[in-house]
Structures are given as C-alpha cells and as structure tokens.
Structure 1
Amino acid sequence: MQALSLTIEKEFAQNSERIKSVDLHPTEPWVLVSLYSGAVCIWNYQSQTMEKSFKVTESPVRSAKFVAREHWIVTAADDTFIRVYNYDTTEKIKEFEAHTDYIRSVTVHPTLPYLLSCSDDNVIKLWDWEKDWSCTQIFEGHSHYVMQVAFNPNDTNTFSSASLDGTVKVWRIGSAGPEFTLEDHLKGVNCVHYFIRDNKTYLLSGSDDFTVKVWDYETKSCVQTLEGHEHNVTALCVHPELPIIITASEDGNVHIWHAATFRLEKRLSYDLERVWTIAHSKGSDKVAFGFDKGIVVVKMNGHVDLQA
C-alpha cells in the first residue's frame, strides 16, 4: 500500500454571495474572488480582512486572475469584456470587448505577456498585452461552449481546453487547428488541468458526467476514471507540493485523491452549497475553494510514502 497522511486545516472562511472564481497571489496572503454580482474583492486570509473590493460590471465575473509580475488583476465577464486593473490602486488600465458571448475563463501564460480567454462563442483567443492587448490568434474547433483553458507547464507553447462538446483539445500557439482531441466523457467537460508524475505528462478533465478522467498525454488514452462525485465536476487541480488531486463538484463536496493510486482519500464538505472553483499557488500549502455561499482557504500538509 502507498500510505498518505494528510492534515487539512481551515485557515479562512467567509460567507459571501455567489463566487465564480478564486485565485491565490503567489507571494501575498491574498485570495482574489470574483462574484456573480459583477464585483471582485481581495481577502487577506492571514489578517482575515478585506483588502480591496470594487464593482467591475453588472454581469457575472466568471474569471479573475492575478498577474503578479505586472501588479494586475484581469477579469472576464458575461458582458463579453476583459478588464485589467492595477491591484495596488484599483485603477482600470484596459477594457476591451473580447468575445461575442459569455467569457468562461482566462489563464495567464507563466512567462510571456500572453492571456488566453475562452467563451460561449466556442472559440479561444490569445491576447498579447505588450502589443496593447491585441488578439494575436483565434483557436477554432470546438462545437460548443469552451469552459476552461490551461497551459502545459512542460511546454508552455501548448495548452488544452475543456468544452461542453464533450472533448478536451490540445493546441499549439502558432498552429491553426488542434494537435489532438480527447474523447471519452459522456457529457460536457468543464475543467482541465495538467498533471506531471515521474516526468510524464497527464491531463485531468472534469465533466457533467460526474467523473474525472486521467489522460496519458503521449498515448492520448484515458488511463483512469475517478468516480465518486454525485453531480457535475466543476473544478480540479493537482496540489503543487503534495501528490494529491483535488476535485470539486456541484454536489457541494471537495474530493482529495491519491495521485499515485487514484484512491479517494478524503471528502470535504463546508455546507456552502455548490463548489465552483479551486485555486492553489506553487510553493504554497494553501488551497482556496469558492462556493455559492462563500469562500474557504485551507492549509494542506501531508506526506505520501510511495514505497510503502
């Protein structure tokens, strides 16, 4: 058996109106929260106080991310606009209409001045902020809403996308069509995340079929299906420091899976209704969850004996 000892302590909890996204700052004790009401706020989970709060739009802000190297927050909303703010001053730096339908999520390139956005208009767009936020590429190929995009940490010229057409597609910046498509889910796919284990690349995808699939990136095959959620899987990630997979669902539960055995190790419930979003930060033991009725930041410590 491969033994996992894991302690999870609640660091911060705050009741809130409906949360659509959370993001953790890489160096400050801040969690960025975007709300269905169209506002964003930054909570300090150490001092348990709100640092900033401001209204972005009248529409739901489905995605908000820190760009720490620029001292920015980037927001994307149902009104089809992307907006950029300086998080020190809350001054709006840029605002532009990015898509023709709701923007589901944005993701920031780890090193280059790039932002990816994906939308209910079925396309993904690449934006270059050093070129005054010009759209440098449009990625077409999905036949339904594109829910999430994620950069490949091993090859940041490539990224994957999750769509309600039931597929995960892998793309390369500069190439017109997808490199390949993964099809095994029975319903729409809401979230996607890269997973590196033993120098091998895997993809995780979470779906409205209530399952999470683990894909071998090289063979393009599904190697494991994680079953246990009782409703749509809305968010997932691999813990940046511990070999665990974290998944969240509209069933209100967070599941912790052993990343080597894929066994369900823990089920967390905070009675805040549906879970919509998870955030983590490299080098940090903190994980944030956003729910219909609030936010929870937990500290995760653990040890996995893979030779046990």
Structure 2
Amino acid sequence: MNKIEITKKHTLSGHQNPIFAVETGGAPTTLFTAGNDKGVVEWDLELGKFRRILLPVKSSVYALHYIPASNLLAVGERSGLVTIVDIEKQLVVARLQHHEKPIFGIQAFRTKSEIIVSSEDGTVSIWNTVNFNLLYHFSVSTETVRCIALNQEENILAFGSKDSKIRLFHAQDYIPFQEINEHSAAITALAFSPDDRFLLTGGRDAQLNVFETKHFLLEKNITAHMFSIYGIAYHPTFPVFITASRDKSIKIWRTADYSLIKNISFDKGYETHRLSINNISWIDDQTFVSVSDDKTAIIWNADFI
C-alpha cells in the first residue's frame, strides 16, 4: 500500500446543532449520530439519508456506544443520564442515573457483561449489561474523565483526563497500576493498536503520543495537528490510522513509522468540514465517518492503492 485516494460519498445533513458523537454497530448500513440537539439520529448509509430519530433526549449527547453482540446502544448525556435503547424495537431498556455531571466516555466489554461510564465528576461507574445494576464506582481523577480505551485482550483500561494525565487500570478488577503524564493539556483521544503493542494518545495540546504497552514508555511524539485531537481510529485491517481535530482536518498515518500519508482539509483541496471535527470512526475497510460542529456527518471512501 503506497497511496490512498479519498473521496466524499455522502454528506449527512439534518442536525440543527454541532454533532459530538458517532457510532456504527447494529446493521452494517446503519449509523448513529448525536450532539447538541434533541435526539439520537439513525442514518441509512446505503442511501445517505435520514432514517429516524432513534431516541429523543433532554440534554446534549457526548457519547454513543454500541454494546457488542446485542441490539443495544448506550447514550450518554450532559445531564449525567445514560440511556440504554434497543435499536430494533426502539425501546428504552434502562436508564442509568448515577452521575450528576456530563457523561463523556462509554466502553463495553466483549468478554464480560459490563459497561464502563466516565463523567465530568472525575469518577467511573461500572454496570452489569444483563440487568443494568450498578456494580462499582470509583474516582479516577479530580477532573473530567474525558475518554476511555480498552485493549483488544480486554485486560487493560486507559482513562484520559482533563488534568492531562492518562491512568491505567487492570480491567479484571479495576485496580490502578500506572499513571502517564506526557501531555501538557487535557487528554481528548485514546486508542490501543489492534495488536495491543501500542497506546496512542491525543490531547488539547495537539500532540499525538505513542506509548509501547510493555512498560508504557513514550516511543514517539508528533505535533499532529494545530489544535485539539478529538479522534484516533485504527483501520480494521490495513496498517494505517486516522486522526481528527478541532483544526478542521483529518489525517491518515502509517502505523509502521507514523509518517503522514494524507491531509484531508480545505487547504489540500478537499470539500470537508468547515468547523471543528469532533469525532471519527471506521465503518468498514473502505469507509469512515467524521462529525463536526458544522452540524454534518461526512461519509468518506478510502481507496487503498
């Protein structure tokens, strides 16, 4: 793979305010978005059109997470509420009311029936995904826990906080074992590599840091963007990953040497977002989605040559 051709497939319009969260999951032709308006929107990816309002909400949504091997989508709101909705039946299964401040991170396991929720209050709650009882809750930081990453083996959890620190926990028993302090501003994005050898971190300092996961020592530091990095996503199969930023650009990087392959921005001639890009995700091997303050989601085709 020496080259990637990027083309815009669909622009999804309909939100009245900025979009903060995006999630695939469920059917391969279905996408969910949410943000600073009154509902979680379901889109038809084949037609590139609005399908329905999956769930009306009373406050902004900062987190969406599909629970593996289920029909369930978790929706985290500014109010502190997490709603579990059955996608097929369009029914609310549970309302998880524990946090009193905004929900920023949600992460489910494949290997056990638990879901993790992080909040602006600096704490994390753990819920059973069978009956949605609260199992545990504990403090991670004195400031917002902005993002969560779970490695592929599902034995390590990374929490990124507003205090610029990344805290590592054993996923089996939620015991902390290490703290990383290599950023100079809030942590806004985390991702483990598909082989679990590396942890990528992005912050409001526009830095992309690469840590090896044996001792979590810093291997590489890149000034990746001009402003905050709001999303990091590894490709499902190819040795590349993408980053998205408040600077309105999407960048594609090689995993082998962290060199830049593509800069998707207005400056490079792309008809892309006109405001901050708040999240990004791969849909399949050739398609990814970005969402923005400009109230749109863009579906991109990636042709690997």
TM-score of the pair, normalised by structure 2: 0.78
1:288-299 correspondence to structure 2 within 5 Å: none
**How far off is 1:175 after superposition?**
2.7
Give the residue type in structure 2 aligned to 1:238.
W
**How far off is 1:94 after superposition?**
1.3
**Structure 2 unaligned residues grouped into runs of 5+:** 10-44, 266-271
Give the residue type in structure 1 aligned to 2:286.
P
Matches of 2:170 and 2:62 in 1, distance apart?
25
Contact 1:32 1:66 in 2 (8 A): no
Name the SS of the counterpart of 2:111 in structure 1.
helix
Contact 1:168 1:205 in 2 (8 A): no
**How far off is 1:204 after superposition?**
0.9
Counterpart for residue 257 of structure 1? 300
Contact 1:204 1:214 in 2 (8 A): yes
Counterpart for residue 212 of structure 2? 172
**Structure 1 unaligned residues grouped into runs of 5+:** 262-305
Matches of 2:198 and 2:75 in 1, distance apart?
27
| Structure 1 residues 122 and 68: alpha-carbon distance in aligned structure 2, compared to 1, 3 A threshold | same
Counterpart for residue 232 of structure 1? 276
Q: Does 1:135 align with 2:173?
A: no
Q: Does 1:15 align with 2:56?
A: yes
Counterpart for residue 152 of structure 1? 193
Count of residues in correspondence between the two structures: 257
Counterpart for residue 245 of structure 2? 207
Q: Does 1:51 align with 2:93?
A: yes
TM-score of the pair, normalised by structure 1: 0.77
**How far off is 1:106 after superposition?**
1.0
Name the SS of the counterpart of 2:218 in structure 1.
coil
Matches of 1:176 and 1:13 in 2, distance apart?
40
Q: What per-residue deviation string (whole Å, max 9, x for no partner) do you get for residues 90-141 of structure 1? A: 22211111112110011222223221110111111111133x3111121221
**How far off is 1:71 after superposition?**
1.1
Matches of 1:212 and 1:194 in 2, distance apart?
13
**How far off is 1:48 after superposition?**
0.8
Name the SS of the counterpart of 2:164 in structure 1.
coil
Matches of 1:18 and 1:2 in 2, distance apart?
31
Contact 2:125 2:138 in 1 (8 A): yes
Give the residue type in structure 1 aligned to 2:174.
W
Contact 1:11 1:45 in 2 (8 A): no
Q: Does 1:37 align with 2:76?
A: no
Alignment partner of 2:223 out of 164, 183, 188: 183
Give the residue type in structure 2 aligned to 1:85.
W
**How far off is 1:11 after superposition?**
6.2
* Structure 1, 141-150 or 102-111: larger mean CA deviation: 102-111
Q: What per-residue deviation string (whole Å, max 9, x for no partner) do you get for residues 150-196 of structure 1? A: 1111x213121111101111112233432112224111211111125
Contact 2:116 2:126 in 1 (8 A): yes
Q: Does 1:27 align with 2:69?
A: yes
Structure 1 stretches (4+) deviating beyond 6 angstroms?
Answer: 1-5
| Structure 1 residues 125 and 256: alpha-carbon distance in aligned structure 2, compared to 1, 3 A threshold | same
Contact 1:172 1:179 in 2 (8 A): yes
Matches of 1:169 and 1:75 in 2, distance apart?
24
Give the residue type in structure 2 aligned to 1:211.
S
Contact 1:32 1:65 in 2 (8 A): no
Percent identity over paired residues: 17
Counterpart for residue 248 of structure 1? 291
| Structure 1 residues 40 and 91: alpha-carbon distance in aligned structure 2, compared to 1, 3 A threshold | same
Q: Does 1:218 align with 2:261?
A: no
Matches of 2:81 and 2:180 in 1, distance apart?
29
Q: Does 1:66 align with 2:108?
A: yes
**How far off is 1:51 after superposition?**
0.7
